[in-house]
Amino acid sequence: MSKTYNVAIAGATGAVGQEMIRTLEKRAFPVAELRLLASSRSAGRFMTFRGESIPVGVLDHDSFEGIDFALFSAGGSRSLEYAPAAVRAGAIVIDNSSAYRMDPAVPLVVPEVNPEDVTDHDGIIANPNCTTIIMLVALQPLHQLSPIRRIIVSTYQSASGAGAQAMEELQNQTEEVLQNQAVTKSAFPHQIAFNLFSHNSTIDDSGYCEEERKMVYETRKILHDDTIRVCPTTVRVPVLRAHSEAIVIEQDRKISVEEARAVLAKAPGVVVVDDPVANHFPMPVEVTGTDDVAVGRIRDDLSHENGLALFACGDQLLKGAALNAVQIAELLVAS
């Protein structure tokens, strides 16, 4: 009989938590018991898993007895408070927040990129930022062909990156604008409907915001190379739930467009969408609800002899969060 595991989801009622539940079911993860945890506001709700109605309990320090894997998507402060309790109870924590990502003792894992790091942990494994995941799934096959020395990336980030309330705000604002009503702002500092703005995270003295700094330092940690230069610009756009990225890379040697397209077509977690004749390239509406990162617009960088440009798009709630976490759990089960 195959082994089964007790799994807890902290933050089960949020947008990512709900996708974790669906992803565990879709991928037939060997769950014996699923324990759903959230704040006291959500306690008592019921959610469905494999046709069974499961009550949502309150996340506290005693929530993890008997749990094998604890998937956290409850925010950084809650991860810092409750993840150590889960580890003490014997669970392996897979954390979707930024709380542990840059901790030297915590591996930061994208299964298609650095699966070997998954076993080198002390009870906690970190999920990278969604923009970093999508970018590195697209770039890892090219990095293996020839080391990448520099990345210039501009992101077009969906409302889902700020949670379910932000997605609802985009929908509500769209209706308000179309009906010539005053726009109501809550989740975002600026109007998101029919607009775009620089990512709404803290900007430090370097001029880069927190989201951009994550891409720099997480990329170096995942690829185990502190010499890689990364220059990101992160932008919020009026899209519900898929992030897009325009990426330019500089490599040790020149990689042809044909060589790049061929290796990407065979890469795990990647689907090539690159049809210049039909002007058909990766789009949020086509990757929403799908697992793979779509890559297209593969072309020479006209400004550098060893440069290559491409466009990537991935579902922020899935590969950018929930799916990556479940894939990490699958690696642990396999190992």
Positive or negative, the CA dihedral 18, 22, 23, 24 is positive
Q: Which of 130, 143, 199, 313 is flagged as catalytic?
A: 130
> Is residue 35 a contact partner of residue 9, using CB atoms and an 8 Å limit?
yes
Beta strands 92-95; 148-157: pairing state: unpaired
Count CA within 13 A, CB hemisphere, residue 66: 7
- The enclosing H or E element of 333 equals helix 323-334
Annotation says 130 is catalytic: yes
Nearest-angstrom CA–CA distance, 207 and 276: 36
What token pair was written down for 13?
A: 């009622």
Nearest-angstrom CA–CA distance, 150 and 307: 9
Q: Which of 121, 143, 199, 243 is flagged as catalytic?
A: 243
Nearest-angstrom CA–CA distance, 331 and 335: 6
How far does CA 85 lie from the centroid of its chain? 24
Q: 4 by DSSP, 3-state: which?
A: coil
Nearest to 177 by CA among 165, 194, 160: 194
Q: 231 by DSSP, 3-state: which?
A: strand
The count of other CB atoms within 10 Å of the CB of residue 238 is 16
Nearest-angstrom CA–CA distance, 287 and 81: 34
Annotation says 243 is catalytic: yes
Tell me which residues are annotated as active site. Answer: 130, 243
